[in-house]
Structure formats: C-alpha cells, structure tokens
C-alpha cells in the first residue's frame, strides 16, 4: 500500500499548479462561469490550448494521440488540481475522446484524437431527451441511414454547452425496430449544420443549458462512432471511465469557508471557536478525505488494467452529495451574509457560497441521479436481483 504520490508525480503536479496560478485570470474565470464552467469562450479556448500543449488535457492517452502515456493516477490528480483553481468540464477530451480511443475506427482516431488532445475542438453531450432522462434507452431522436449519410430528426434537451461547442456527441436511434439497447448509435455532429436550432434554458444557478432541435440534419457516415447500433454499450462503458467527479472546486470552497470561520468574530470570539461550527467543519474535512480515497481508487483500478464498476457510481454519488453538504454548511457558517450575491454590498466570500449552493443541486441529478448510482451499485456491485 501507498497513499502518497510518487516524487515524479509530485513534481509534475507542482508544474501544473504553477502554470494554473499564472495563466488563470479573473477574466477567464468570469467567462467560464458564465457558460457553466465549460470552455468554448474566446479566453477559455486560448487557455485550454496552452494547457493542452503540455499534454495535460489527456495525460493518460498514448503519445501518438497527443497524450503523455501517463498513469490514470496522474491524470486524475491533474484534473483535481485544475478543478481546485477553476472547475472546467471537458466533454471532448474526457468523455467522447476515451470512447473514440476504445471503440473508434483507425480513421476516426486519426481525424479526431489529436485535435481533441490539443484542445482545439470541443463537444457538447447529446444524450438526454424530454422523455429519456434516467432511462436513456427511451431515446426517440432518429438517424435514418441514407447510404453515405444519415438524416437526423428529433429533439434533445439539457444539452449544456451546445451553444458554445463545435460538435455534438450525439446518441441517436438507428434501428427503431430493434430491441432496447440494440437500437442506438453514437455519432459526431457539426453544430453548425443546417437544420439545427438551439433554444436556451437558463438554470437556477444562472448558467445556460439548451434544447437542441434537429430538422432533416445531414450527418456524414464517417461520423458514426464504432459499430452501428452499439451506441448504448459505448455510452455505458464511457460512463464507467468518466463518471468520476473531481472535488477540487468544492475543496477550495471548503478551505475558504474554514478561513472565513477563523477570521470572522461574532459575539467576541471567532466563529471557528464555536463547538458546533468546529464539529460541522471537521465532519466535512473527514468526508472530503473519504471522497479523496474513493476518487483515487478509481485511478488505481484503471492503472491495474481493470475497468471500474460500481466504484465509479459510489464516488459520483458520494462526491455530489458531499458537495451539497459543503454548500449548505457554508450557508450556515455565513449566516445572513450567505444569501448575499456576488456584487452585493456586504457579500461574503464574493457570493460564492450562495452560488455554489444553487449550483450543487444539479450535481446529484446529472450524469446519473443519486438513485441511478445506487441502483448500479446494488445491481452491479452487490449483484442484487433486478426482479
């Protein structure tokens, strides 16, 4: 056993930290925040290219595809470092890319992986539909095979990022007569294609997600990922690799709440001397540590050449529920000041706590609700019967 990073890993993490410190500006953070912590804005694209030039966007990919051939452990640690400074979500590099790497044809890998690794293109996830949320097998959007291309018709919803990304990573029905799970394909769709309409949906956390409508949209056949009608399996496999949830952003928020408690004097003593606040904050520190251990366990499993199973669901579930406890405790510690938004007179911690308090609501819902994660843990991890 060993619960620390190797000296080489620590050295690289130092470099990453130094880079982030010098490159991430308040302007970049503001832009990123406004589009839901996705990159795709002007400053974001510039930053990501510089970051990716070091191989840090996809360290565990092979060198020929723009990675460093590094361990999953280091890859996870870099994601955590980035999340601590600025939580950024990468759909192409961290969700679509690995699927292409595992299941894509040689031509597809050659065409897409290098630009993704360099941070030159970004995707938006296109999974959810109005009648297919937790049950992704209920999709209705249909791609009809026309020989050298598909014609797409239907609707997606909650496709965050699709108004700023370049391509849609789309799950579609390609064989409506086939059984569930054997009727779905994954394809890459240029978001500038004629026939695509994007309608904004604004979240209660202030950022934009979207509905995306497809009317007779043409998609070239070479944009099909892997085999026809195998999309559901690709999607599920990708989730095992990619559902892990870096907590860096919330770790930082927690550190700032601790600092606030130490510096804020109420009724003659710092908040940090109040036994109840001490207990609550210590509990969060403990839970962050527990999360850290089950987060890096995923990397350990991958580095041993295995595919994480229920362990990914456990970490996603634990982390997102913990995120809500952190923001709620933060609101408690700040008291009446907690409600004040960024820009308000008397706002504490730049209004971050109330913002993350609103934000964290969605995290136990997207990428598989907490209930779906528990189902997976029970069925796959504990082999409980499904009926």
Partner 1 sequence: MNYDLNKTQTILKDEAHRFLAKECPSDFVREMAEDETGYSKELWQKMAELDWMGVLIPEQYDGIGGNFLDLTVLLSEMGYSCLPGPFFSCVVLGGLTILEAGSDSQKTDVLPALSRGEQILSLAWVEQDGTYVPGGIKLAAILNGEEYILNGTKLFVPYAHVADTFICVARTGQTLEDKNAGLTLFLVNAKQQGIHIETLITMAGDRQCEVIFEDVHVSKDNILGQLDQGWPVLKKVLQMSAVAKCAEMIGGAQRTMDMAIPYVKGREQFGRPVGAFQAIQHHCANMLTYADTIKFMTYQAAWRISEGLPFEKEASMCKAWGSESYRKLVALAHQVIGGMGFMEEYDLQLYFKQAKAAEQMLGDADFHRELVAKEIGL
Q: Which residues make up the interface to partner 1 (CB under 8 A)?
A: 1-5, 73, 258, 261-262, 272-273, 275, 277-279, 281-283, 285-287, 289-290, 293-294, 296-297, 299-300, 310-311, 314, 317-318, 371, 373-375, 377-379, 381-387
CA distance 222 to 219: 8
Contact residues for 217 (Cβ-Cβ < 8 A; gap 6+): 151, 152, 153, 189, 193, 194, 195, 196
For residues 120 and 90, the answer to whether their CB atoms sit within 8 Å is no
Q: Which is nearer to partner 1, 14 or 279 (CB)?
A: 279
| Residue 80 beta carbon to partner 1: minimum distance, rounded to whole angstroms | 12
* Number of Cβ atoms within 10 Å of the Cβ of 365: 15
DSSP structural state of residue 287: H
- Chain position carrying tokens 């925040």: 33
| Residue 124 beta carbon to partner 1: minimum distance, rounded to whole angstroms | 30
| Residue 326 beta carbon to partner 1: minimum distance, rounded to whole angstroms | 14
| Residue 60 beta carbon to partner 1: minimum distance, rounded to whole angstroms | 15
SS3 assignment for 88-102: CECHHHHHHHHHHHH
Residue 339 corresponds to which tokens in the numbers above? 């409600």
Burial class (CB in 10 A: 0-12, 13-18, 19+), 177: exposed
| Residue 179 beta carbon to partner 1: minimum distance, rounded to whole angstroms | 22
| Residue 4 beta carbon to partner 1: minimum distance, rounded to whole angstroms | 7
CA distance 244 to 135: 20
Q: Which is nearer to partner 1, 18 or 384 (CB)?
A: 384
Q: Which is nearer to partner 1, 219 or 299 (CB)?
A: 299
Q: Which is nearer to partner 1, 110 or 262 (CB)?
A: 262
Q: Which is nearer to partner 1, 259 or 344 (CB)?
A: 259
Q: Which is nearer to partner 1, 65 or 76 (CB)?
A: 76
CA distance 182 to 166: 28
Q: Which is nearer to partner 1, 42 or 386 (CB)?
A: 386
Q: Which is nearer to partner 1, 60 or 185 (CB)?
A: 60
| Residue 151 beta carbon to partner 1: minimum distance, rounded to whole angstroms | 39
| Residue 58 beta carbon to partner 1: minimum distance, rounded to whole angstroms | 20
Q: Which is nearer to partner 1, 30 or 282 (CB)?
A: 282
∠ Cα 125 248 112 (to 5°): 35
CA proximity to 291, closest of 248, 348, 231? 248
For residues 97 and 113, the answer to whether their CB atoms sit within 8 Å is yes
DSSP letters along 149-218, please? Answer: EEEEEEEE---TTTTT-SEEEEEEES-TTSPTTSSEEEEEEETTSTTEEEEEEE-TTS-EEEEEEEEEEE
CA proximity to 296, closest of 282, 308, 280, 278? 308
- Chain position carrying tokens 């360290």: 59
| Residue 5 beta carbon to partner 1: minimum distance, rounded to whole angstroms | 7
DSSP structural state of residue 378: I
| Residue 297 beta carbon to partner 1: minimum distance, rounded to whole angstroms | 6
- Residue 362 DSSP SS3: helix
Q: Which is nearer to partner 1, 72 or 212 (CB)?
A: 72
């Amino acid at each position: 056993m060993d619960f620390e990073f190797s000296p080489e890993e620590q050295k690289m993490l130092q470099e990453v930290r130094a880079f982030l410190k010098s490159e991430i500006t308040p302007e970049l953070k503001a832009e990123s925040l406004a589009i839901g912590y996705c990159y795709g804005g002007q400053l974001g694209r510039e930053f990501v290219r510089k970051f990716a030039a070091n191989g840090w966007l996809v360290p565990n990919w092979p060198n020929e595809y723009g990675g460093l051939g590094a361990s999953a452990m280091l890859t996870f640690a870099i994601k955590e470092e980035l999340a601590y400074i600025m939580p950024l979500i990468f759909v192409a590099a961290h969700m679509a890319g690995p699927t292409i790497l595992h299941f894509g044809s040689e031509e597809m890998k050659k065409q897409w992986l290098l630009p993704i690794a360099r941070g030159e293109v970004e995707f938006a996830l296109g999974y959810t539909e109005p009648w297919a949320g937790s049950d992704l097998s209920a999709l209705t959007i249909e791609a009809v095979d026309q020989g050298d291309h598909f014609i797409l018709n239907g609707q997606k919803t909650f496709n965050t990022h699709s108004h700023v990304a370049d391509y849609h990573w789309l799950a579609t029905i390609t064989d409506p007569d086939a059984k569930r799970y054997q009727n779905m394909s994954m394809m890459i769709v240029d978001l500038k294609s004629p026939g695509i309409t994007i309608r904004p949906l604004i979240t209660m956390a202030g950022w934009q997600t979207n509905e995306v409508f497809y009317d007779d949209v043409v998609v070239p056949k070479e944009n099909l990922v892997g085999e026809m009608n195998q999309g559901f399996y690709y999607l599920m496999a990708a989730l095992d690799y990619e559902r892990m949830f870096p907590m860096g952003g919330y770790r930082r928020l927690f550190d700032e709440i601790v600092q606030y408690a130490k510096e804020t004097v109420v009724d003659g003593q710092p908040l940090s001397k109040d036994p109840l606040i001490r207990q609550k904050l210590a509990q969060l520190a403990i839970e962050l540590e527990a999360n850290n251990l089950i987060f890096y366990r995923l990397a350990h499993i991958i580095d041993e050449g295995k595919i994480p199973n229920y362990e990914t669901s456990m970490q996603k579930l634990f982390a997102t529920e913990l995120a809500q406890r952190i923001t709620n405790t933060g609101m408690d510690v700040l008291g009446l000041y907690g409600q004040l938004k960024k820009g308000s007179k008397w706002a504490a911690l730049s209004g971050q706590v109330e913002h993350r308090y609103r934000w964290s609501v969605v995290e136990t819902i997207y990428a598989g609700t907490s209930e779906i994660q528990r189902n997976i843990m029970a069925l796959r991890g504990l082999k409980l019967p499904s009926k």
